[in-house]
Chains A and B, each alone.
Chain A
Amino acid sequence: MSLIVRKLSVPLGECHIVEDASLTVEPGKLTGLIGANGAGKSTLMRAIAGLLPDAKGEVRLDDITTASLTPRQLAHRLAYLPQGQQVDWSLTVRDVVGLGRFPFQGRFGRPSAEDRAIVEDTIGRLGLSAIAERAAPSLSGGERALVLLGRALAARTPYLFADEPTAALDPARQLEVMDLLSAEAKSGKGSLVVLHDLNLASRYLDEVIVMHRGRIIADGPPAEVLSEDTLQTAFGITPLTGENDGQRWLIPWRRT
């Protein structure tokens, strides 16, 4: 039981944004996609999530080809949190989190008692109870990011994709979000996140996939993959590393 991607390519005119990507997202593990801007991380994630009709290759979700699933069936198995998302109307926090239950509701979109219980539970777990009636667009960027993550978690899908969930968050929020995602993964969710922060990647990820110019150039546990060689190829940087509490920290130090 896992999400297996084989030879996935996303064409754009003559060239490819993503070429021949093969990877596995296992339940119970937090898997990360890293790479420089324009390396194809977000595109790869969107292609796996079935949002790019031009993508070629195979994605198998627990032994079912995703191409054979309807969007709704796919939404029952996989929740996707895009990068820097906005909320268009002044929906309350509770309503936004409640949208996570959308794939499970009938034609007229009425939430069941179970849906409501899940939404309340998610709001409580993310510590959003105090602002549950506030309008989502009026929140600070950090609060809003948490609410939108709450939406994706409320779907209670076996797989979760998050594109840069820590972007534009303050340090405490970054740690909070990574702790949450890590806990979700430990509880059995197959999780794939795009990260830009190499230190968070080194500390939190169970598996790291490094992309460079549309291709996957390394794949494995952070200690192996985040080597000086790979970082030099993928990002053009030399890192400074060390250890604390049995975890390896890593900061980009200078360009090479």
Chain B
Amino acid sequence: MKPLPYALLCGCLFICILIAAFASLLIGPAAAGLGSLFGKLTGEEADTAILIMREIRLPRMLLAVLIGGSLGLSGAALQGLLRNPLAEPGIIGVSGAASLGAVIALYFGLSAALALALPLRAIIGALLAAFLLHLLAGRQSILTLILAGVALTSLTGALTALALNLSPNPFAAYEIVTWMLGSLTDRSMVHVTLAAPFIVAGWVMLLLAAPALDALSLGEETAQSMGADLRRTRILIIGGTALCVGAATAVSGVIGFIGLIVPHLLRPLVGHRPSRLLPVSALGGALLLLLADILVRLITPGTELKLGVVTALIGAPFFLWLVLKTRSSAS
């Protein structure tokens, strides 16, 4: 595939996001579509339609953009840092730790006492994981970082399973499982304002690390000899991923595959350059999650499928197809 002009690619993705965002405001189980908007102009059923859009669909749309962008961006950054196309935000244990933090809040019933206890716990969990990762592998090789991340992921997974195992009543277990499936349903502007500062800070950190990723494609030692500061790059990417994916997991639960697939899809379009892949993966992630969230509302309007289930259901076979396709074209 030939690389597209960079500005054109970014522009196209941006316009698609605008269209999808608009569609996301109009589609849903409640009858508040385009017709009701016109209805407002003629004076009928105005207030409910506006209320539904502003209070229910707007936060949902904003979260899809913020979370999808975070997953795409951090996926691209981690693939660049670890020099491995299979890397994704889940691999370094940050989303596992965020998820565990939320599960602890659910387990002890903290979220019943205080609605924000769950996302706050999750963010704290993600930051703790990043700190632990830095202590374990901050000065070691990239391979140590991956191994530490894998260990952290299985540990948080085990602790989450323990919480389920010991859960005081079936309802708590049900609550934990439902949350872990990942969804954007019934989130409010409070969730947006809680997550947005962390997410934006994470984006800034990740984007600052972008140029060094190009140098890293020649290997760690060469990058170092070219003056790239690997320590800084690593702190920016692990820290940035913890902030934005931690905050994203905190409000939506675990949403898989976006961080893996989006950079894969877009890489040929930017001439395989890791630094250029970062901004377009943020745009691509936002677009994909918006579309997936619209799809969820369209296919099963009654009992809504969970978003995390849908991304994994579509993502896994698609990823397999992608792998087989690139392998056959390589040979």
**B330: min CB distance to chain A, Å:** 9
Binds B, one of A14-22, A72-80, A243-251: A72-80
Cβ B226 vs Cβ A102 within 8 A: yes
- Cβ of A85 under 8 Å from chain B: yes
Option from B208, B221, B225, B274 in Cβ contact (under 8 Å) with A79:
B225
Chain B binding surface SS class = helix
Asked if A107 is at the interface of the complex by the 8 Å CB criterion, the answer is: yes
CB of B272 within 8 A of CB of A90, answer yes
Flag A101-137 by CB within 8 Å of B: 1 or 0 each.
Answer: 0110101110000000000000000000000000100
Chain B min CB distance to A171 (Å): 27
CB-contacts of B211-225 with A (<8 A): 211, 214-219, 221-222, 224-225
Q: Does A183 contact B (CB under 8 A)?
A: no
Query: Could you say which residues of chain B place their CB within 8 Å of the CB of A107?
Result: 208, 211
Stretch touching chain B among A91-99, A214-222, A223-231: A91-99
Contact B227 A95 (CB under 8 A): no
Q: Is the CB of B267 closer than 8 A to any CB of chain A?
A: yes
Tell me whether A75 and B221 are in contact (CB under 8 A): no
Q: Are B227 and A89 in contact (CB under 8 A)?
A: no
**Chain A residues with Cβ under 8 A from B83's Cβ?**
88
B214 surroundings in chain A (CB, below 8 A): 95, 99, 102, 109
* In-complex Cβ contact of A151 among B210, B218, B275 (8 A): B218
Is B55's beta carbon under 8 Å from chain A? Answer: no
Distance to closest chain B CB from A123 (angstroms): 16
Chain A interface extent, by class:
35 or more
| Contact yes or no, A91 B272, CB < 8 A | yes
Indicate whether A87 reaches chain B with its CB closer than 8 angstroms.
Answer: yes
Q: Is B271 an interface residue (CB 8 A)?
A: yes
Q: Is the CB of A91 within 8 A of B228?
A: no
Instruction: Evaluate contact between A89 and B219: CB separation under 8 angstroms.
Output: no
Whether A80 lies near B222 (C-beta < 8 A) is yes
CA distance A90 to B272 in the complex (A): 6
Chain A contacts of B208 at CB under 8 A? 107
Q: Is B187 an interface position by the 8 A CB rule?
A: no
Contact of B218 among A50, A85, A105 (CB under 8 A): A85
Q: Give chain A nearest CB distance to B31 CB in angstroms.
A: 48
Q: What distance in Å separates the Cβ of B325 from its nearest Cβ neighbour in chain A? A: 15
**B273 pairs with A95, CB closer than 8 A:** yes
Smallest beta-carbon distance A119→chain B, Å:
14
Most chain A Cβ neighbours within 10 Å, of B217, B227, B229: B227
Residues of B within 8 A of A155 (CB): 226
Cross-interface CB contact of B227 among A71, A82, A88, A135, cutoff 8 Å: A71
Chain B residues lying within 8 Å of A92, measured Cβ to Cβ, are: 271-272
Interface residues of B in 195-244 (CB under 8 A from A): 208, 210-211, 214-219, 221-222, 224-229
A96 to B225, CA, bound (A): 15
Chain B's closest residue to A98 (CB) is B214
How many angstroms between the C-alpha atoms of A71 and B216 in the bound complex? 15
Q: How far is the CB of B224 from chain A (nearest CB, A)?
A: 6
* Alpha-carbon separation in the docked complex, A177 to B146 (Å): 37
- B275 and A95 contact, CB distance less than 8 A: no
Docked CA distance A75–B211 (Å): 16
Residues of B within 8 A of A51 (CB): 221, 224-225
Contacts of A148 in B (CB 8 A): 218
List residues 140-163 of chain A with CB under 8 A from any CB of chain B: 148, 151, 155
In-complex Cβ contact of A99 among B215, B268, B271, B272 (8 A): B215
CA distance A103 to B112 in the complex (A): 54
A122 to chain B, nearest CB (A): 15
Cα(A116)–Cα(B57), bound, Å: 48
* A70 interface residue per 8 A CB criterion: yes
CA distance A89 to B219 in the complex (A): 11
Of A91, A99, A108, A135, the contact of B226 (CB 8 Å cutoff): A99
6 A-B residue pairings within 8 Å (CB atoms): A50-B225, A51-B225, A74-B227, A75-B227, A88-B219, A95-B273
Closest 7 CB pairs of A and B: A109-B211, A72-B227, A75-B227, A80-B225, A89-B272, A103-B227, A90-B272
